[in-house]
Amino acid sequence: MAENNGPLKGILVADFSRILAGPYATMLLADLGADVVKVEGPGGDDTRTWMPPVRDGVATYYLGINRNKRSIALDLRDPDDLAAAQELARRADVMIENFKPGGLARFGLDYDTVAAANAGIVYASISGFGSGEGASIPGYDLMVQAISGLMSLTGDPDGPPYRAGISVFDVMAGLHANIGILAALHSRGASGRGQHIEVNLLSSALSGLVNHSSAVVAGDTVPFRMGNAHPSLFPYEPLPTADGELIVIAGNDGQFRKLCQVLGTPELVDDPRFTRNQDRTANRDALRPLLVEALQARTKDEWFRDLIAAGVPCAPINTLDGGVAYARDLGLDPVVEVGGVPGVRHPITFSATPPRYELPPPGLDEHGQEIRAWLKS
């Protein structure tokens, strides 16, 4: 096994989470050198069976968020297993869980009990709707996409609301949890004490809706579905070319000027209806057909090549395999293989303490014997 030089080397994470938000967070921590012990119930993490698709009989959902971890299966109703879980929490630097708020108290694994024996613990709880009035509400990403308002923003203006194509708020909550964990570890370095971090999907959603939630709380404006259009920019959407659609973006007046130069429509820049971004946005119905007419002259790949060369943001609409292939073409090396299991590379590059890729996603209780022996030593 290669030497662990990750920036989180020496940090022990007791991972009592399952499904997506917590496991995604702990995989990123593990990639950065943390020793993550994945605690599973006797039946294992639910995502082990969320299939298809599968690889060698294991769900790719599970494989995608559980590398670099060691697995131990513990039945918290069994006294010996519970003692092992409590000892793991006592030794850990970080504990992360996504049980229903208060659900671990009966096992002596709630924050107050764990912190009484381990004052330095950074204890992260992930829930759907917080530990107050929303504590009893199940926390599924799709529920939060609906309740937060995201689905009201997704889809055609005259069509039904749609969910995002991924569990976007689970991922976001996992990232927010990691920000909190790293901040609390930094604080512990000065104070010597850990703390309890709480993250919930609804708060992550409202934060992650950024300009849309700001429109509500600061602008007294309720956003609405606009299909692929942007409420504050134009062009910023797919536009048809000779052989298919291309995402075309003019994020500022300079980019619009370059776009018009490449399209061969320089007269549009001086048209008072289109001079400034706010003008283009207000007059998008007049500008769109003029851009579409120019784009019909060539293919999307030809426009992509020339517009990018001119500094105009644009993009073809790929399937996911095309996205992976494009990242590979750019030299981003998006795929890593660990123990024969391909996965997506950690998204952060470090100049001195690179991520590690040592352990494939573990089988259920694969490391149980060695972890139990260590906890008794």
Residue 2: the pLDDT is: 63
Closest of 369, 373, 343, 339 to residue 1, by C-alpha = 339
Task: State pLDDT tens for residues 261-273.
Answer: 999 999 999 999 9
- Look up the pTM and report it: 0.95
**What rounded mean pLDDT belongs to the chain?**
97
- Summarize the chain as % helix, strand, coil (round to 5): 40, 15, 45
What residues have CB less than 8 Å from 236, skipping those under 6 apart?
Answer: 229, 230, 248, 249, 250, 251
Task: State pLDDT tens for residues 339-368.
Answer: 999 999 999 999 999 999 999 999 999 999
Task: State pLDDT tens for residues 192-229.
Answer: 999 999 999 999 999 999 999 999 999 999 999 999 99
Q: In which residue are the tokens 């049980």 written?
A: 99
Residue 279 token pair: 């003008």
**CA dihedral defined by 55, 322, 315, 204, rounded to 10 degrees?**
0
> Buried (b) or exposed (e) across 92-125, using 16+ Cβ within 10 A?
bbbbbbbbebeebeebbbbbeebbeebeebbbbb
Q: In which residue are the tokens 């100049």 written?
A: 351
The amino acid sitting at 353 is T
SS3 (DSSP) at 41: coil
Residue 3: the pLDDT is: 77
The whole-angstrom separation of Cα 22 and Cα 178 is 9
The amino acid sitting at 118 is N
Which residues sit opposite 336 in a β-bridge?
343
Residue 289 token pair: 């057909």
**By the 8 A CB rule, do 46 and 19 touch?**
yes
DSSP 363: P
Report helix angle 368-376 to 79-91, nearest 10: 70
Pick the residue with more confidence: 88 or 3?
A: 88
Q: Are strands 69-73 and 35-40 parallel, antiparallel or unpaired?
A: parallel
Q: How far is CA 10 from its chain centroid? A: 25
Percentage of the chain surpassing pLDDT 70? 99
The whole-angstrom separation of Cα 133 and Cα 137 is 9
Catalytic site includes residue 170:
yes
**By the 8 A CB rule, do 245 and 235 touch?**
no
Q: pLDDT tier at 4 (50, 70, 90 boundaries)?
A: confident
Domains of the chain: 12-210+336-376 (3.40.50.10540), 236-326 (3.30.1540.10)
Q: pLDDT tier at 290 (50, 70, 90 boundaries)?
A: very high
Task: State pLDDT tens for residues 71-118.
Answer: 999 999 999 999 999 999 999 999 999 999 999 999 999 999 999 999
The whole-angstrom separation of Cα 175 and Cα 154 is 23
Residue 148: the pLDDT is: 98
Task: State pLDDT tens for residues 337-347.
Answer: 999 999 999 99
From 170, 220, 270, 321, the catalytic residue = 170
The distance in angstroms from the start CA to the end CA of the chain is 23
